[in-house]
Amino acid sequence: MEVVQVLHMNKGAGETSYAKNSKVQSKIISVTKTVTEEAIIELLCKNLPESMGIADLGCSSGPNTLTVISEIIDVIYSKCSNLGCPTPELRICLNDLYSNDFNDVFGSLPAFYNKLKEEKGTDFGQCFITGVPGSFYGRLFPRKSMHFVHSSSSLHWLSQVPPGLDSKASTDINKGRIYISKTSPQSVLDSYMLQFQKDFSLFLKSRSDEIAPGGCMVLSFTGRKSMDPTAIESCHQWELLAQALMNMVSECLIPEEKVNTFNAPYYGPCAEELELEVQKEGSFIMDRLEAFEIDWDGGVDMPNRINGTLSSGQRVAKTVRAVIESMLESHFGRDIMDDLFQRHADLVDKHLAKTRTKYTNLVIHLVRKG
């Protein structure tokens, strides 16, 4: 699987789109808002540049994209007003993979700019928003051009399926599973951990070149509290999806080989793993690291024109589908998607009826040394 080419949130504004099924990600942004605000204020108190570089990595599309940018601008505007100084020129870069729905983002910019003028007035400094397609596991921006980098719900995605687990591998060593599981061989756990270490180290190195000394990052992504990568908080969502796929295998709807050769390019790290990689790379100081929990369904109701509201399982399945359908479709084909996610919804409902499992999210504030 070529992750750079395949992975993207569902486009448009249809019923299965990311735009309509990203309440969980919106909740995460809301919960981490205080960390973002405090990081920006701390940055501006130390240094107020005339031209400020800001990046949102893994921006996706839909309402969350410009919500993040709007909140960042609000903090900068408020702090500059309190200091009695003009707002710096803002260079805002929205990054995601090449297949992201940037057209949706760009189409919403005129209204965004008009709202900005209405709320902030003509004295507000210039604001330039651009799209920067490409993988954040590598360089994206000129050297020392960034002052604040934000990323939410993105860094748990790896640059690739770990070597030996992709569809071209000679041996299927993770049969019947699509991610780390309690029944996965140790070699599978090791492969995922090594791929995460490689990717996160490259991410930090790339940002260290791009962020000016004293600049900072706020990163939040799905992880785990436990040191055990097979903990239920980390992998059970994937196990339920694998179970839905294997149920379809048992009914001869898809060949078992298809399941055996699919592994998700995903890894939810623990805090200790993050701290270790930050220390090893050496360019950043970890100012803050916190963990918080989010309901699988975001804790919100999504309306249904027929039945009033969707079940928790249906909400979870729609959210998951909006994120990973592009990868599943490229491997299994489009025809099974409706059936697969209905089965997934049913399994999630049964699971949540027994235990209210939640996602663990980690948020870190890193400051560039120098």
Q: How confident is the prediction for the chain on average, in pLDDT?
A: 88
pLDDT in tens, 237-295: 899 999 999 999 999 999 998 999 889 999 999 999 999 999 999 999 999 999 998 88
Give the max Cα distance, the chain.
69
Handedness of CA 251, 253, 256, 262 (dihedral sign): negative
Q: Check whether 236 has a pLDDT greater than 70.
A: yes
Give the DSSP per-residue string, 235-301.
HHHHHHHHHHHHHHHHTTSS-HHHHHT---SB---BHHHHHHHHHHH-SEEEEEEEEEEEETTTT--
Q: Check whether 7 has a pLDDT greater than 70.
A: no
User: Which pLDDT score, from 0 to 100, does residue 314 have?
Assistant: 87
At 308 the three-state DSSP class reads: strand
CB-side neighbour CA atoms (13 Å) of 94 = 25
Instruction: Name the nearest CA neighbour of 28 among 360, 369, 332, 342.
Output: 360
Distance in angstroms (rounded) separating the CA atoms of residues 9 and 15:
13
Q: Check whether 1 has a pLDDT greater than 70.
A: no
Distance in angstroms (rounded) separating the CA atoms of residues 156 and 10:
18
343 against 370, higher pLDDT: 343
Distance in angstroms (rounded) separating the CA atoms of residues 322 and 306:
21
CB-side neighbour CA atoms (13 Å) of 160 = 13
User: Which pLDDT score, from 0 to 100, does residue 323 have?
Assistant: 85
At 148 the three-state DSSP class reads: strand
Beta carbons of 172 and 242 less than 8 angstroms apart? no
Q: Of the ranges 48-52, 298-302, 339-343, which one carries the lowest mean pLDDT score?
A: 298-302
Distance in angstroms (rounded) separating the CA atoms of residues 222 and 162:
18
When computed from its CA atoms, the radius of gyration of the chain, rounded to whole angstroms, is 21
Q: Check whether 174 has a pLDDT greater than 70.
A: yes
User: Which pLDDT score, from 0 to 100, does residue 305 have?
Assistant: 40
What is the arithmetic mean of pLDDT over 146-154?
95
Q: Of the ranges 103-112, 136-145, 160-169, 176-185, which one carries the lowest mean pLDDT score?
A: 160-169
User: Which pLDDT score, from 0 to 100, does residue 293 have?
Assistant: 87
What is the arithmetic mean of pLDDT over 41-55?
92
Confidence band for 74, pLDDT divided at 50, 70 and 90: very high
User: Which pLDDT score, from 0 to 100, does residue 18 have?
Assistant: 67
Q: Check whether 300 has a pLDDT greater than 70.
A: no
Confidence band for 313, pLDDT divided at 50, 70 and 90: confident
The CA-CA-CA angle for residues 22, 25, 31, to 5°, reads 140
Q: Check whether 125 has a pLDDT greater than 90.
A: no
Confidence band for 304, pLDDT divided at 50, 70 and 90: very low
Q: Check whether 5 has a pLDDT greater than 60.
A: no
Confidence band for 319, pLDDT divided at 50, 70 and 90: confident
CB-side neighbour CA atoms (13 Å) of 367 = 17
Confidence band for 306, pLDDT divided at 50, 70 and 90: very low
117: number of Cβ within 10 Å: 11
pLDDT in tens, 185-217: 999 999 999 999 999 999 999 999 999 999 999
